[in-house]
């Protein structure tokens, strides 16, 4: 025994020595450069904990090489710092990053010239080291003696602000420690968008100046706060403790991440948006849970001069008529900041007035107009023509003209009341090319007449053929689905003219069939599914029938377009009747009917169908009301139809988050209990007649689910919770049950939530329930009301 044990000991020792040896000999993983040492080719430094890596990289499909720092453990290299962002290299094997003996870190190109340098010098010769830390800071310091840091990458941020990183300025050297966006995902060179600390004459201020929207944030409001709970996300773990550090040399904001297991980063994106991302262990991708502005077109100058931003179309930026991209290659990489230039120069001939104006309708006008006191459109136009630097005018109870570059033009929807007519000045030669209509040339007239004649003939022929077709069966026999033709839907909806609503997954139009049945036609947006699979899915959805579910009548496939045809619900959605102040006020009886009916519909989807269907998007917008105000759940089955895309849209869509169960965001598997959570949130709104999140503006004490949970726990009068407009007219017993069940539905752990079947029984009074425990996320609010500041509110902006 003894001998055997000794032998094992020996073997263990041997292995240990071998392991150490191998490690020393073959592992190139080092976190430090010593004087005279350099990195080249694919050699890298790795921080001690193996979190960050530093070396050469090429962004995207670029041919250029840069020195950067990225997360070593994550897939898809996320670069958080770049050294030579303005000085790209064409090869990395013949270039080197070298720490000189005088403490200067230089990047040498193929010919040995220094293209980038830290310009740092040490007083103690040959004693500095450059070390990559686990927080991504790359620090050059003196190894002997403790005269501290000579240079560090945190003093020179690029587009990222990481925990421990700095955002501020050095008041001795007057250097900014600001974030400046990349030009495009393939080009880290500095672009137009920056985030920095606003300074005024005397010293630092608490204002963060973010020129993506020309706005300022009072970051002083952020300091010392721990943002524990984000109701919009139903989350209480993305934590940040912002601190302002000021000393004789510098003044900056920094923050910590309170969850050591998660990565978090702020970044000014190449698009000009500011975002905070989080990566937790169980995530497979970066999730952004905070972004400003939410609309890309709101980023100031995103499209560059003389370009128009349209939030609803791809590509977002287009040059105005008569203009073309200034740098075509950049434009292709979605770097629009250079904007557009005129194809033909203006004539600017004051006498002959060779320039013309082109009207663009429903435009959001650029900043900084010059107002002129003239009384008519014509006068306004001629004022603009009379100055060569005038590029555009608008007349709207007054004349505004614009000189110089035009920034921030936005195309609004045609119905948008804020939209204005905008007259852009272009050379006459351009106008001729742009619109043939204005030319009263004879040939044009003849061609037009010929085309018109041809069209009339075509229409006649079509009508005749159409009439002679056997009448198409427009209603399925015994509830089977009708495969509609696109033409039929088009004429039923009068060319999709009456829009009933629009959601993230498509728009809904009202239509009337030849047999005068009214239908709702949903056009599905961005559905990537093939025709066969679509039909198969749709048929399963079509087989589901229940009094509290909106009945699918048919579908239509036309090229890449997909439509679903539903029965029409005359009383619209619960959202419109509950929250739009002008409409009829639902009495308690109707509300209770809606609550139980919705629960029954969901219970049917979860428990009675052949395959369990999780709705995934329960909210007042998706509960429709028939002529008798019976609730019908709409859009079930869409989650399956859209697959992964559905959850992506859902988790990022504003307005939906308040209804999403925590497991949606934490990335755990979603079960029917996720619908139960959303139903609970909806039930609160049925009781209060207001959006839960609406009351948040007054602070957490007013967060309605919290109020209900407290009232129920303390055994207080639930009538106090009821929508004021009902003036206390409700069946107290029913209201009591509704409040209790809603609190049970929003428990953190899905196992604690009832099933929809149980919800029905509880509402009906068949099953009794205990007093619900306070959900943890609400509990947190009661314990830390002062600390709990939701992100959305904290980042309140003030116009500059
Ligand atoms: C590093 O580069 C060398 C030379 O091109 C190559 O042989 C080697 O496989 C590379 N190593 C890695 C880890 O990419
Ligand atoms: C190296 O950089 C120097 C100075 O910037 C430049 O003149 C030279 O052309 C570069 N060499 C190569 C091979 O890029
Ligand atoms: C180093 O100094 C040169 C010349 O003054 C300057 O162009 C360069 O930007 C400096 N590098 C850094 C990293 O500050
Ligand atoms: C500097 O230190 C390195 C090792 O750290 C050594 O190899 C080198 O000879 C030293 N150079 C001088 C000039 O002392
Ligand atoms: C933002 O600030 C930078 C540096 O001050 C400036 O170059 C840039 O033009 C500004 N961008 C916008 C959109 O105003
Ligand atoms: C500078 O900013 C500080 C802090 O915001 C403010 O108190 C002070 O009045 C400002 N000074 C000027 C001259 O604007
Ligand atoms: C936030 O950070 C500051 C400085 O690092 C520290 O003094 C403070 O205690 C922290 N606040 C909380 C709530 O942890
Ligand atoms: C830098 O800031 C400190 C503290 O705010 C101040 O005492 C000092 O005078 C400033 N120095 C300069 C050069 O502005
Ligand atoms: C400010 O800078 C000076 C010289 O660079 C240095 O000696 C001093 O320690 C710095 N002060 C702080 C608080 O870092
Ligand atoms: C990595 O990049 C590929 C291609 O761009 C993308 O499809 C994939 O989703 C990315 N993965 C992660 C985790 O971001
Ligand atoms: C045209 O506008 C520019 C800029 O406002 C101004 O300097 C110039 O005097 C104007 N020219 C005429 C002819 O009004």
Q: Determine if the peptide bond prior to 417 is cis (ω within 30°).
A: no
Asked if the model's pLDDT at residue 794 lies above 60, the reply is no
The pLDDT score that the predictor gives to residue 241 is: 73
Beta bridge partner(s), residue 355? 427
Beta bridge partner(s), residue 358? 424
Domains and CATH numbers, the chain: 23-156 (2.90.10.10), 157-294 (2.90.10), 307-433 (no CATH), 482-567 (3.30.200.20), 575-792 (1.10.510.10)
Ordered DSSP codes for 89-119: BS-SSS-EEEE-TTS-EEEE-TTS-EEEE--
The pLDDT score that the predictor gives to residue 434 is: 54
The atom of ligand 1 lying closest to the CA of 42 is 1
Which ligand ends up closest to the CA of 106? 3
Ligand 1, atom 1: closest residue by C-alpha: 42
Q: What is the pLDDT of residues 257-281, one digit of tens each?
A: 766 677 889 899 998 888 888 787 7
Residue with tokens 């929207």: 213
Average of per-residue pLDDT across 320-347: 89
As a whole number of angstroms, the distance between CA 205 and CA 800 comes to: 14
The pLDDT score that the predictor gives to residue 412 is: 87
Asked if the model's pLDDT at residue 798 lies above 60, the reply is no
Mean pLDDT of the chain: 80
Q: What is the pLDDT of residues 145-159, one digit of tens each?
A: 556 889 999 999 999
As a whole number of angstroms, the distance between CA 739 and CA 433 comes to: 66
Alpha helices in 550-703 (DSSP H): 574-579, 588-603, 638-642, 644-652, 662-666, 672-688
As a whole number of angstroms, the distance between CA 547 and CA 527 comes to: 28
Helix (H, G, I), strand (E, B) or coil at 553: strand
Helix (H, G, I), strand (E, B) or coil at 465: helix
Answer for the pair 394, 365: CB distance below 8 angstroms, yes or no.
Answer: yes
Asked if the model's pLDDT at residue 10 lies above 70, the reply is no
- Taking residue 28's Cβ as centre, other Cβ atoms within 10 Å add up to 9
Answer for the pair 58, 65: CB distance below 8 angstroms, yes or no.
Answer: yes
Binding pocket residue ranges, ligand 6, CB within 6 Å: 200-202, 205-206
The atom of ligand 10 lying closest to the CA of 285 is 13
As a whole number of angstroms, the distance between CA 338 and CA 332 comes to: 12
Ligand 2 pocket test target in 91, 110, 116 with most atoms within 8 Å of CB: 110
Average of per-residue pLDDT across 246-267: 83
Answer for the pair 286, 275: CB distance below 8 angstroms, yes or no.
Answer: no
Q: Which of 253-257, 427-431, 778-782 has the highest mean pLDDT?
A: 253-257
Active-site hit among 617, 635, 675, 748? 617
Q: Which of 261-265, 295-299, 492-496 has the highest mean pLDDT?
A: 492-496
Check residues 287 and 733 and name the one with the higher pLDDT.
733
**Quick one: pLDDT band at residue 234, thresholds 50, 70, 90?**
very low
Answer for the pair 307, 391: CB distance below 8 angstroms, yes or no.
Answer: no
Q: In the numeric block, which tokens belong to residue 780?
A: 């947190």
Residue with tokens 């895309």: 645
Question: Is 225 one of the annotated binding-site residues?
Answer: no
Q: In the numeric block, which tokens belong to residue 235?
A: 């989350």
Q: What is the pLDDT of residues 545-554, one digit of tens each?
A: 889 999 999 9
The pLDDT score that the predictor gives to residue 469 is: 38
Check residues 699 and 261 and name the one with the higher pLDDT.
261
SS3 track for 655-699: CCHHHCCHHHHHCCCCCHHHHHHHHHHHHHHHHHCCCCHHHHHHC
**Triad 326, 329, 331: Cα angle to 5°:** 60
Rounded to two decimals, the pTM is: 0.60
Average of per-residue pLDDT across 346-365: 79
As a whole number of angstroms, the distance between CA 218 and CA 195 comes to: 13
- Taking residue 524's Cβ as centre, other Cβ atoms within 10 Å add up to 18
Ligand 6, atom 1: closest residue by C-alpha: 200
The pLDDT score that the predictor gives to residue 451 is: 58
Helix (H) or strand (E) holding 462: helix 442-468
Asked if the model's pLDDT at residue 377 lies above 80, the reply is yes
**Quick one: pLDDT band at residue 197, thresholds 50, 70, 90?**
confident
CA of 76 from ligand 10 middle (Å) equals 6
Percentage of residues of the chain with pLDDT beyond 90: 40
As a whole number of angstroms, the distance between CA 240 and CA 245 comes to: 15
As a whole number of angstroms, the distance between CA 105 and CA 102 comes to: 9
Ligand 9, atom 9: closest residue by C-alpha: 249
As a whole number of angstroms, the distance between CA 32 and CA 762 comes to: 65
Asked if the model's pLDDT at residue 474 lies above 70, the reply is no
Asked if the model's pLDDT at residue 479 lies above 70, the reply is no
Rg (CA), the chain: 32
Q: How far is CA 445 from CA 431, 448, 449, 741, in A?
A: 18, 5, 6, 72
As a whole number of angstroms, the distance between CA 215 and CA 663 comes to: 35
- Residue 730 buriedness (CB in 10 A; 0-12 / 13-18 / 19+): buried
Is 611 a known active-site residue?
no
Q: What is the pLDDT of residues 206-228, one digit of tens each?
A: 666 766 666 665 555 555 544 44
Ordered DSSP codes for 242-284: EEEEE-SSEEEEEEEES-TTSEEEEEE-TTS-EEEEEE-TT-S
Asked if the model's pLDDT at residue 445 lies above 60, the reply is no
CA of 87 from ligand 2 middle (Å) equals 10
**Least confident segment among 156-165, 401-410, 605-614, 651-660:** 651-660
Average of per-residue pLDDT across 757-766: 92
Q: Is 241 in the pocket of ligand 7 (CB under 6 A)?
A: yes
Asked if the model's pLDDT at residue 143 lies above 80, the reply is no
CA of 211 from ligand 5 middle (Å) equals 6
Helix (H, G, I), strand (E, B) or coil at 428: helix
- Taking residue 659's Cβ as centre, other Cβ atoms within 10 Å add up to 26
The pLDDT score that the predictor gives to residue 208 is: 66
The pLDDT score that the predictor gives to residue 533 is: 82
Ligand 6 pocket test target in 198, 202, 216, 217 with most atoms within 8 Å of CB: 202
Q: Is 368 in the pocket of ligand 11 (CB under 6 A)?
A: no
Check residues 347 and 782 and name the one with the higher pLDDT.
347
Answer for the pair 215, 798: CB distance below 8 angstroms, yes or no.
Answer: yes
**Least confident segment among 84-98, 233-247, 388-402, 687-701:** 233-247
Contacts of 709 (CB under 8 A, 6+ apart): 743, 772, 774, 775, 778
The pLDDT score that the predictor gives to residue 217 is: 59
């Amino acid at each position: 025994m003894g001998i055997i044990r000794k032998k094992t000991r020996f073997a263990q020792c041997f292995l240990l020595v071998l392991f150490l040896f191998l490690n020393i000999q073959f592992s190139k993983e080092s976190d430090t450069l010593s004087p005279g040492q350099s990195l080249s080719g694919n050699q890298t430094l790795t921080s001690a904990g193996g979190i960050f890596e530093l070396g050469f990289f090429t962004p995207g499909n670029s041919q250029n090489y840069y020195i950067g720092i990225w997360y070593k453990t994550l897939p898809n290299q996320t670069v958080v710092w770049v050294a030579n962002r303005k000085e790209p290299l064409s090869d990395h094997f013949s270039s080197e990053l070298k720490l000189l003996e005088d403490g200067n870190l230089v990047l040498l190109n193929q010919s040995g010239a220094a293209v980038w340098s830290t310009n740092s010098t040490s007083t103690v010769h040959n004693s500095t080291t450059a070390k990559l830390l686990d927080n991504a800071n790359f620090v050059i310091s003196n190894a002997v003696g403790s005269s501290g840091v000579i240079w560090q990458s945190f003093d020179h941020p690029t587009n990222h602000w990481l925990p421990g990183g700095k955002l501020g300025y050095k008041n001795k050297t007057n250097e900014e420690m600001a974030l400046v966006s990349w030009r495009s995902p393939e080009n880290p060179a500095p672009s137009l968008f920056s985030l920095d600390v606003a300074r005024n004459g005397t010293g630092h201020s608490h204002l963060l100046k973010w020129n993506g929207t020309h706005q300022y944030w009072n970051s002083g409001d952020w300091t010392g706060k721990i943002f524990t709970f984000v109701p919009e996300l139903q989350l209480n773990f993305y934590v940040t403790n912002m601190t302002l550090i000021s000393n004789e040399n510098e003044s900056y904001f920094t923050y910590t991440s309170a969850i050591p297991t998660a990565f978090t980063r702020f970044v000014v994106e190449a698009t000009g948006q500011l975002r905070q991302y989080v990566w937790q262990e169980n995530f497979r991708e970066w999730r952004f849970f905070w972004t400003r502005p939410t609309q890309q077109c709101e980023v100031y100058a995103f499209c560059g001069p003389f370009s128009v931003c349209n939030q609803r179309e791809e590509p977002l930026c287009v040059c105005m008529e008569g203009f073309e991209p200034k740098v075509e290659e950049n434009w292709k990489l979605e770097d629009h900041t250079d904007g557009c230039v005129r194809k033909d120069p203006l004539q600017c001939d004051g006498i002959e007035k060779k320039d013309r104006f082109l009207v663009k309708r429903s435009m959001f006008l650029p900043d900084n107009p010059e107002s002129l006191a003239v009384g008519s459109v014509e006068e306004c136009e001629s004022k603009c023509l009379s100055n060569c630097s005038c590029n555009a005018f608008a007349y709207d109870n007054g004349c505004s003209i614009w000189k110089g570059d035009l920034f921030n033009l936005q195309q609004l929807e045609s119905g948008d009341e804020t939209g204005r007519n905008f007259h852009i000045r272009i050379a006459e030669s351009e106008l001729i090319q742009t619109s043939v209509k204005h030319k009263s040339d004879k040939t044009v007239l003849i061609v037009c007449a010929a085309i018109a004649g041809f069209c009339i003939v075509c229409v006649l022929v079509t009508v005749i053929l159409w009439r002679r077709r056997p009448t198409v069966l427009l209603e399925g026999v015994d509830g089977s689905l009708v495969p509609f033709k696109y033409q039929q839907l088009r004429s039923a909806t009068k060319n999709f003219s009456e829009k009933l609503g629009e959601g993230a997954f498509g728009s809904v139009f009202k239509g009337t069939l030849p047999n005068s049945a009214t239908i709702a036609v949903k056009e599905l947006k961005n559905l990537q599914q093939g025709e066969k699979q679509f039909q198969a899915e749709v048929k399963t959805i079509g087989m589901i029938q229940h009094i509290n579910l909106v009945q699918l009548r048919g579908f239509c496939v036309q090229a890449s377009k997909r439509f679903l045809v539903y029965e029409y619900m005359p009383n619209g959605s619960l959202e419109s009747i509950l929250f739009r102040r002008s409409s009829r006020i639902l009495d308690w009886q109707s509300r209770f009917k809606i609550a139980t009916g919705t629960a029954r519909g969901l219970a049917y989807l979860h428990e009675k169908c052949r395959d369990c269907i999780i709705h995934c998007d329960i909210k007042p917008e998706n509960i429709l009301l028939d002529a008798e105000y019976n609730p019908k759940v709409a859009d079930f089955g869409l989650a399956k139809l859209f697959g992964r895309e559905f959850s992506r849209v859902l988790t990022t869509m504003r307005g939906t988050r308040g209804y999403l169960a925590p497991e949606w965001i934490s990335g755990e598997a979603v079960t029917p209990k996720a619908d139960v959570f959303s139903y609970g949130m909806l039930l609160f709104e049925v009781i209060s007649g207001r959006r839960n999140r609406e009351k948040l503006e007054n602070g957490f004490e007013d967060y309605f689910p919290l109020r209900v949970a407290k009232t129920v726990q303390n055994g207080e009068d639930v009538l106090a919770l009821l929508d004021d407009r009902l003036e206390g007219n409700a069946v107290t017993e029913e209201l009591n049950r509704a409040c209790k069940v809603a609190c049970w539905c929003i428990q953190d752990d899905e196992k604690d939530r009832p099933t929809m079947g149980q919800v029905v029984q509880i509402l009906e009074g068949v099953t009794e329930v205990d007093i619900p425990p306070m959900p943890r996320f609400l509990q947190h609010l009661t314990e830390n009301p002062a600390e709990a500041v939701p992100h959305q509110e904290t980042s309140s902006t003030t116009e500059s």
